[in-house]
Structure 1
Amino acid sequence: MSHTNKIAYVLNNDTEETASPSSVGCFDKKQLTKLLIHTLKELGYDSAANQLLLESGGYQNESNHIQTFFKLIKTGQFHLINWQIVCSLPLAHSSPLRSEWLQRLLIPTPTPATTSLFDHMLLQLQYLQQLMSSVNSSTCSDAEIATLRNYVEIMILVNRQIFLEFFHPVTNSASHKGPHTALPVLYLRKILKNFIEIWDSLLVSNDQFLNEENIFNPETTLRELSTYLTNPKLTAQLNLERDHLIDAISKYIDPNELVPKGRLLHLLKQAIKYQQSQDIFNIIDPDDDASFSSPPHRINLLQDNFSHDLTVTFQEWKTIQDTTDEIWFLTFSPNGKYLASATSESSRGYFITVYDVEQDFKIYKTCVSLSQSVLYLMFSPDSRYLVACPFSEDVTIYDMNATSLPDASATDSFLLYPSTRLSPMDSFKLDTTTYPDDTESSASSSSRPANANSNQSRVWCCDAFHTAERAGWMVVGSPDREAIVHSLTTKESLFSLKGRTCIALGHDENISGRKSIDPAKVLYKPTSSNGNWQYVEDDETFPRVHDVKISYDDKYVLLMTHQGVIDVYDFSGFPSKEELSKQTVDPKNFLIPRIARLDVGKNMTCISLPLNTTHQGFHRQQISESQHLVLVSLQDNELQMWDYKENILIQKYFGQKQQHFIIRSCFAYGNKLVMSGSEDGKIYIWDRIRGNLVSVLSGHSTVMSNSTKPMGKNCNVVASNPADKEMFASGGDDGKIKIWKISRN
């Protein structure tokens, strides 16, 4: 017997194999076999896959129903696709359709051979329309509606393909130049549009069965198909479009009935990413698949993949030094186009420099007419306006789209580039006498502004609302115990939190000794989380506000106070611009609930929210895993990460030096990193989740300027570019702005 035959004999007569269990460890043997067969076919080993199929007893990768359905698509026999075939597909995470629904959809109607495809699909649409008359969300479960919606989506995908194939006519005659425009237009209007309208009506809010990977937007789909009418050349090759249709429908199918495309490779990627995640020097970036797609890089599948090297590097890319004054504040615009810089007091005057990031950081605007040093800068969400909060009582606003006008008579002739001179478009002060809560008690020595001889409050911080409903609004905070909602467009103060707040308590919290508040007087939007809240009077003196942040969905306003706490207010019920314009709600007659208080207990210098990478105008996108995080810089050589909604301290970061000055920190690299300046001139970078220090950069050093004033070596501020996760900037006492780049090894 030859060696080969011996191997075959042993394999065929292995008693251990015949008596083998139905599982291998915790894995199902049938699933493993199906996965191997599927992968062999994807790799082109069809004969080996067929041999394994025979030896395993015929484990099919897809059921007969699925094979029949996909064959109809590949051969273009769409006139044979009906609700009976579609509803026979086994869907993932779905419940069976009601029997009475199936009876209405699966009406046996033999279609004559002469019936057109248009009439056939019109009949399927009519069956669905008849069914929808009995579908009611109040009597049907979300799971039932989700199943019906998935089948409707599959039928829409099929009809979309039918529509596209109008632009690939069968060339029965040489004179045929292309499709008649009337038929695609009619099909889109009479069939596809009605299918999509029904699908839209089946959407369930907060649907736990909604698969984000599979749904498509009806408005986008209609716009896309309408584009094909005007430019039919956009359609791809016929076979390629049918393959895409099969791939799209495959995502709806139960994986136990159809092995997902590339499943084994996907599992291997997950395993390698998990192995790499165990290394504390690995910066996890789920969006980065470069290591799996780079041809020169080969991953060894025969051993574990660990690396003890830092997976990202930080490189100093550019140094800007247009001043010898200390850099106090840096901020990128939301669209990443501008970088604004504010300096300390200067013998040349006070101004803000705005750099054009896209033009190699050339000076774009020099904002003038400031009477004192600027403590805080903020760009509006559309990146058009820059708001400056100086030491003085004036909040100054600049329009980045305005034309720069040199002024020979101006006192700021010291400017390096007079052609970039930009005057304010507006400025305002907070008048503390205009609010009714300035009672004798609130104006006592403990709460009176430090500049008590003035009726205006200083403004040291601000942040803008982000959604379209509150576009042009911002919250300004004052160390003189004020926080006010101000409109940039109408140039008026809309609401003062001082004296207009209450405290929200859970149903299990003790309210004894507290004065209850009628919920009708509270501005809040009822949800499942606040349905059991009780509201009590807030009898505390309004705090001194040193920093303010607004969540990207505009639901929460965070005030960092001088008292060592961060107060979180629920603004979800605050009226929109439309409601205020119609005067349906007067917010001055209501209270804003404080839903949380983060008891940090130490002196804080700034707070930061995660970066929002969507920057095209106004938006509602949330930031998934990190949407309720706030980073706190402490004057105690420490940073803290809190979940402000749950009032939980999540992580602490140590290493940087901060005891005497305001040092600012930020999120970076798609919110995977946390970074901060330091009083030793260095930049400290941590892994956001683990809290370990991953790098320390030598950023800024002690220098002596041309003046007699000695310069410190603080790195006062770091700022990330929200439109380019690989870019951040730092500013220090040496007057330098350094631009840094992050790259993966």
Structure 2
Amino acid sequence: MPQLIEELVSNGHSATTNGNGLSNGEGPSSSSSSLSLSLSLRSAAAAAAVSSSSTASTEPHDAAAAAALASTAGGSSSSSASPDHHRDANDYEHSSFKPLWPGSDIDRREWVRLALQTFKEMGYAGTAQALTRESGFELEIDDVTTFRNGVLQGQWDLVEAMLVQLPAHQVKDHTTVRFKIRQQKFLEALEAKETKKALFTLRNELAPLGHDSDRLHFLSSLIMCASAEDLRARSSWDGVHGESRKNLLLQLQDYISPDLMIPQRRLETLFEQAKIHQQRQCVFHIHNDSFTSLLADCKCDPHAFPSTTTHILHEHTDEIWRLEFSHSGEYLATAGRDRLAVIWKVSTGFTLDKVFREHSDPVSCIAWSPDDTILLTAAESVIKMWNTEKGHCIATLNQHAYQIGALAWFPDGKGFASGGMDSKIYFWDLAGNITESLQNSPSRVIDLAITPDGSRLVAVGRVDTSPSVLASRDQSRTQSGADTPAQLASNLRVPIEPKHDNRISIYTLADRKLDFESTQPHELTSANISDDSRFAIIGHAPDEILYLDLRDCTVVRRYQGHNQGTFVLQACFGGPLQNLILSGSDKGEIYIWHRDTGVLIKQLTGHSVEGSVNAVSWNPKNPTMFASASDDNTVRIWGVRAGPTPTPIVVNGNNGKRSA
């Protein structure tokens, strides 16, 4: 059988195709290619029936059903509107703009069509008919309606006949469209155990298109599936009784102009976009409510914004440099100069869950795995992998020669990246093996981040480095210098020299190549990427955060007002829509900006003014909670004010809590 399949596919590829992508003598090509746009639906169905009869001895066709459907559609064309008043949907692009009302820049016909679609989707058929009569506009031309119904009902001959009827300039990539249609036809035949029909479709209809040979060979392998369940599992296809036809229609809409076929639930999509825009423009929007009224602009209460300390966490005995909520929002990890990494449990009032004590140097980096089962920590040149449930060390990794500046997981959870002062960026697997390394990385990798879609890696650092600038790891943090990640490099107090380039490097992970590079005048201290993988915020000493468009490495906006001096401060996105930017400062304050406007909306105090707030992290599951870590040895949890003078809950982690 496999040899037969390969022969069938090979023979199919040898067939010639005409300009429409159909094989000579195949299906609807010989008759449909001459169909003009004025051909009636009844004629189109007849053409499909004639073409079907030419291969009736080898493959069953749906010509009768196609003819019946076309006959029904042809007999019920839009007659509700008067000939003088009715305007065909296909005339839209040729007609002049007519405003919804005087001075409006919204097209009346588009608005009416959106309303018609919405009424029909809501089941208000009578209302839609009345609107058609009064406005003179149809939702879509009859050919499109027949095409849509044909896809949903599996009338594939009719679908292809209607495809030829549609204006050629409003359907892009006919070959791909036909391939998708015939692929569905092939899969349905296999599911119904109509192997002969499936083989015919594969050889005589799919293969002659000469499209996506890899996919074609995969489809041929499906003939060997033992059952319909096996077919659906292997092809990631839910079958004729699932959503496959609806999904196919959605795919085909990407190739058909919206002037002809409006995307499904388009008005709802526009309302959702408007709602999100309103929420993003509201500087104090913080509640991730499922319902937001369309009747008024979004204006949230400033008093409902998380700006009050609810908890103060005590466990660390020295400066805290990093903190990060788990992806589930159930745990908070902190680490710092005292060589500890601590996990706090959120749901129990931030009680102590784990304490990891095995590092012999200050802990400069932490990173949760996507499933939160592993916590990475780095101290000097050593990485440790911790089992967060059992609390033991899984592996200790010693490949870096100098201090590690950053750790970041790949979104699939199968590995992570590390970058250090030795100008190395390594990729690791879960067994602790290096799988690859990036070339041309900044000499000093101060921080790095991987986009949530896994497509890019962003690294920040300095081009010039030398082991001689590394300070003693035991040196205390003073104004003259210290071996801490709360400063710019391994000695993160080294004066900036003009000859040093401070670079943002963006790599494409598919080919591991440098995509963009940007040089900035001052030290770059941190990198954080938005959930949509499009933007990054980059710490830029001494007093700003760069908002970077990752598509071309351009600076779109700058957030200013705080001061970080020469310290490394970890900024983050915040809010339910990531509509906020947060950062600490060197005077113990927390600054919060509105992302889209750059307006400084909050300047919070609470930490000691004698030290810096080194890191902030927003809880990904609780839109009104974030945390901050400071040189004052404490972590503060911030939330909404519960009363006129709320008193923070002080949590002493060492009071009888278990540690590892």
Structure 1 residue 396 displacement after superposition: 4.1
- Contact kept in structure 2, 1:152 and 1:199, CA below 8 Å: yes
Taking a change above 3 Å as real, the CA distance of residues 32 and 597 of structure 1, as seen in their structure-2 partners, is: closer
Structure 1 residue 87 displacement after superposition: 3.7
Q: Give the RMSD, CA atoms, in angstroms.
A: 5.4
Residue number in structure 2 paired with 1:60:
138
Whether 1:256 and 2:259 are equivalent positions in the alignment is yes
Structure 1 residue 184 displacement after superposition: 7.1
Counting only pairs closer than 5 Å after superposition, residues 376-455 of structure 1 correspond to structure 2 as 376-379=365-368, 386-390=375-379, 393-400=380-387, 422=392, 425-428=395-398
Give the alignment's TM-score, normalised by structure 2. 0.58
Taking a change above 3 Å as real, the CA distance of residues 155 and 594 of structure 1, as seen in their structure-2 partners, is: closer
Q: For residues 552-575 of structure 1, what are the alpha-carbon distances to aligned partners after superposition, in whole Å with 9 as ceiling and x for unaligned?
A: 535554325664743245765999
One-letter amino acid matched to 2:305: T
Q: Within 2, Cα distance between the matches of 1:272 and 1:486?
A: 40
Whether 1:321 and 2:314 are equivalent positions in the alignment is yes
Q: For residues 438-469 of structure 1, what are the alpha-carbon distances to aligned partners after superposition, in whole Å with 9 as ceiling and x for unaligned?
A: xxxxxxxxxxxxxxxxxxx4x15133573889
Residue number in structure 1 paired with 2:364:
375
Q: Within 2, Cα distance between the matches of 1:465 and 1:40?
A: 46
SS at match of 1:689: coil
SS at match of 1:426: strand
Q: For residues 494-534 of structure 1, what are the alpha-carbon distances to aligned partners after superposition, in whole Å with 9 as ceiling and x for unaligned?
A: 8797xx78xxxxxxxxxxxxxxxxxxxxxxxxxxxxxxxxx
Q: Within 1, Cα distance between the matches of 2:631 and 2:394?
A: 27
Structure 1 residue 665 displacement after superposition: 1.7
One-letter amino acid matched to 1:566: N
Structure 2 residue corresponding to 1:553, chosen from 443, 455, 467 = 455
Structure 1, unaligned runs of 5 or more: 1-11, 13-19, 96-145, 167-182, 206-216, 404-419, 432-456, 502-541, 577-591, 613-622, 703-710
Counting only pairs closer than 5 Å after superposition, residues 35-46 of structure 1 correspond to structure 2 as 35-42=114-121, 45-46=124-125
Taking a change above 3 Å as real, the CA distance of residues 366 and 228 of structure 1, as seen in their structure-2 partners, is: same
One-letter amino acid matched to 1:461: G
Q: Within 2, Cα distance between the matches of 1:726 and 1:257?
A: 45
One-letter amino acid matched to 1:343: G
Give the alignment's TM-score, normalised by structure 1. 0.53
Counting only pairs closer than 5 Å after superposition, residues 112-511 of structure 1 correspond to structure 2 as 146-157=173-184, 183=193, 201-202=211-212, 226=229, 253-271=256-274, 274=277, 279-281=282-284, 290-292=290-292, 297=293, 299-300=294-295, 305=297, 307=299, 309=301, 313-314=305-306, 319-332=312-325, 339-345=332-338, 350-355=339-344, 363-379=352-368, 386-390=375-379, 393-400=380-387, 422=392, 425-428=395-398, 457=402, 459-464=403-408, 466=410, 471=415, 474-477=418-421, 482-483=423-424, 485=426
Q: For residues 303-357 of structure 1, what are the alpha-carbon distances to aligned partners after superposition, in whole Å with 9 as ceiling and x for unaligned?
A: x636374597327665533345432221345676753322334xxxx42223456
Structure 1 residue 718 displacement after superposition: 0.8
Q: Within 1, Cα distance between the matches of 2:435 and 2:128?
A: 72
Taking a change above 3 Å as real, the CA distance of residues 198 and 712 of structure 1, as seen in their structure-2 partners, is: farther
Q: Within 1, Cα distance between the matches of 2:588 and 2:291?
A: 34
- Contact kept in structure 2, 1:196 and 1:218, CA below 8 Å: no
Counting only pairs closer than 5 Å after superposition, residues 13-92 of structure 1 correspond to structure 2 as 23-24=98-99, 26=105, 28-42=107-121, 45-57=124-136, 59-72=137-150, 76=153, 78=155, 81=158, 83-89=160-166
One-letter amino acid matched to 1:291: F
SS at match of 2:258: coil
- Contact kept in structure 2, 1:396 and 1:426, CA below 8 Å: yes
Q: Within 2, Cα distance between the matches of 1:161 and 1:494?
A: 43
Q: Within 2, Cα distance between the matches of 1:472 and 1:275?
A: 37
Q: How many residues align?
A: 498
Residue number in structure 2 paired with 1:506:
none
SS at match of 2:291: helix
Structure 2, unaligned runs of 5 or more: 1-84, 86-94, 463-488, 642-660
Taking a change above 3 Å as real, the CA distance of residues 332 and 94 of structure 1, as seen in their structure-2 partners, is: same
- Contact kept in structure 2, 1:567 and 1:598, CA below 8 Å: yes
Structure 1 residue 731 displacement after superposition: 1.8
Structure 1 residue 246 displacement after superposition: 6.3
Structure 1 residue 695 displacement after superposition: 3.0
Taking a change above 3 Å as real, the CA distance of residues 487 and 673 of structure 1, as seen in their structure-2 partners, is: same
Larger RCO, structure (CA 8 Å, separation 6 or more): 2
One-letter amino acid matched to 1:152: F
Q: For residues 465-500 of structure 1, what are the alpha-carbon distances to aligned partners after superposition, in whole Å with 9 as ceiling and x for unaligned?
A: 73889946533225xxx5464767576898797xx7
One-letter amino acid matched to 1:23: K
Residue number in structure 2 paired with 1:649:
555
One-letter amino acid matched to 1:373: P
- Contact kept in structure 1, 2:170 and 2:256, CA below 8 Å: no
Q: Within 1, Cα distance between the matches of 2:210 and 2:516?
A: 35
Q: Within 2, Cα distance between the matches of 1:263 and 1:691?
A: 31
Structure 1 residue 38 displacement after superposition: 4.1
Structure 1 residue corresponding to 2:527, chosen from 608, 620, 630 = 608
SS at match of 1:664: coil
Q: For residues 407-451 of structure 1, what are the alpha-carbon distances to aligned partners after superposition, in whole Å with 9 as ceiling and x for unaligned?
A: xxxxxxxxxxxxx5x4573253755xxxxxxxxxxxxxxxxxxxx
Taking a change above 3 Å as real, the CA distance of residues 241 and 687 of structure 1, as seen in their structure-2 partners, is: same
Identity %: 21
Q: Within 2, Cα distance between the matches of 1:353 and 1:492?
A: 27
Structure 2 residue corresponding to 1:688, chosen from 595, 607, 618 = 595
Structure 1 residue 265 displacement after superposition: 4.4
Q: Within 1, Cα distance between the matches of 2:555 and 2:597?
A: 14
SS at match of 2:593: strand
One-letter amino acid matched to 1:290: S
- Contact kept in structure 1, 2:459 and 2:527, CA below 8 Å: no
Residue number in structure 1 paired with 2:10:
none
Q: Within 1, Cα distance between the matches of 2:620 and 2:356?
A: 23
Q: Within 1, Cα distance between the matches of 2:246 and 2:433?
A: 57
Taking a change above 3 Å as real, the CA distance of residues 94 and 239 of structure 1, as seen in their structure-2 partners, is: closer
Q: Within 1, Cα distance between the matches of 2:321 and 2:157?
A: 70
SS at match of 2:306: strand
SS at match of 1:691: coil
Q: Within 1, Cα distance between the matches of 2:289 and 2:123?
A: 24
Q: Within 2, Cα distance between the matches of 1:381 and 1:77?
A: 41
Whether 1:599 and 2:520 are equivalent positions in the alignment is yes
